Amino acid sequence: MNIYIGNLNYRVREPELKQILEEYGTVSSVKLIIDRDTNRSKGFAFAELPNEDEAKNAINGLNGAEYEGRQMVVKEALPRR
């Protein structure tokens, strides 16, 4: 399942995010979205967790949780239109 992680502190990096998600299960990828012009984080990321139950547990456990001074928004990612 592909999940969206938003409202991240701009200092958060992919390895840190992967480590947090791995507490809930196997993480196949984490992609922090970077602004092309400034080369800085846009404050959100996407992660792929192959096991749907683990992904749902991560969403339930992390949505609204505070990390690096900000309350994360974690939910199932919607496909691009």
**What's residue 79's pLDDT?**
84
CA–CA distances in Å: residue 57 to residues 8, 50, 51, 80: 19, 12, 10, 23
Q: What is the pTM of this model?
A: 0.92
Q: Answer yes or no: is pLDDT of 80 > 90.
A: no
**What's residue 9's pLDDT?**
96
- Report all structural domains of the chain as residue ranges with CATH numbers, in order of start: 2-76 (3.30.70.330)
**What's residue 16's pLDDT?**
95
**What's residue 81's pLDDT?**
80
pLDDT in tens, 16-51: 999 999 999 999 999 999 999 999 999 999 999 999
